[in-house]
Amino acid sequence: MAFSDNPRFGITMFPTDYSIQPVELARAVEERGFESLLFPEHTHIPASRITPFPGGTDLPEMYWHTHDPFVALAACAAVTSKIRLGTGICLVIERDPITLAKEVASLDLISNGRFILGIGAGWNREEMENHGANYSQRWQVVREKVLAMKAIWTEEAAEFHGEHVDFDPIWSYPKPVQTGGPPVWIGANSKWVFDRVAEYADGWMPIGGLGSGNMERMEAALSARGRRIQDLHLALFGAPVDAEQLKGRIEQGFDELIFNLPSEPAQEVLTRLDALAEVVRSVRG
């Protein structure tokens, strides 16, 4: 039985300088009844790199043409009122945690509590190192930055003292609208993701599916920290465009299913969005 009898459906796309622009996309997503819109992040792509693209092909040009997600999502917040807006994912490793905490809190306030912070550690070593990031310790750094941001969002005079993040008490406003700060969803599929989600995240956003035994591993990791799988937001990133497959994923426990759209001009994107809306209607009956 599904954990949610009322699953939600969302959209993700690389918003680029050559594709449909964020404002037009956000309006279209909300008009068609979708519940969320998520944008990815790459500040740049090094012109020369050794790190291979995980997709197994040449790196698509959208990776170095994409808008800053926070600027794009702020524009989307101004023209929508219902859909939740998020990063899918934010490369926390490349950002200063104090600045990022303020950006997130500001966007949550501007959107009236509609922001989701999807996070990851990334795959592009050269990109991270251009920011001065330590690739080999990227998840340790991400953990400390997330915990530091949670302190900033919830405490009057927040401080944090870790190996990678260290600051004495600070004042930082605005605070987020959402209690405790926006939900943090981890977008990763590794064997370490279960403990990471259980320790400092509110949701898990695996790409493509769960994998055998992973729901049980997540339940065990949560239980070890006194948490329940029912309290975890489970979002499928890269949901299948097939009604029966979607129903199967919902039965697995996914309560949000996020479709990929290509970085193309408005006409093509809106045509695909209409087709996805039809699939969602058939699932909802």
Round to whole Å and give the CA distance between 35 and 280. 11
Round to whole Å and give the CA distance between 241 and 223. 33
Position 282 scores a pLDDT of: 96
pTM: 0.96
- Is residue 11 classed exposed, middle or buried when 0-12, 13-18 and 19+ CB atoms within 10 A define those classes? buried
- Walk me through the domains of the chain, giving residue ranges and CATH numbers: 8-284 (3.20.20.30)
Q: Could you tell me if 185 and 68 are in contact, meaning their C-beta atoms sit under 8 angstroms apart?
A: no
pLDDT (tens place) for every residue of the chain, 285 residues total: 344 578 999 999 999 999 999 999 999 999 999 999 999 999 999 999 999 999 899 999 999 999 999 999 999 999 999 999 999 999 999 999 999 999 999 999 999 999 999 999 999 999 999 999 999 999 999 999 999 999 999 999 999 999 999 999 999 999 999 999 999 999 998 999 999 999 999 999 999 888 889 999 999 999 999 999 999 999 999 999 999 999 999 999 999 999 999 999 999 999 999 999 999 999 998
- Backbone phi and psi for residue 229, each to the nearest 5 degrees, phi listed first: -60, -30
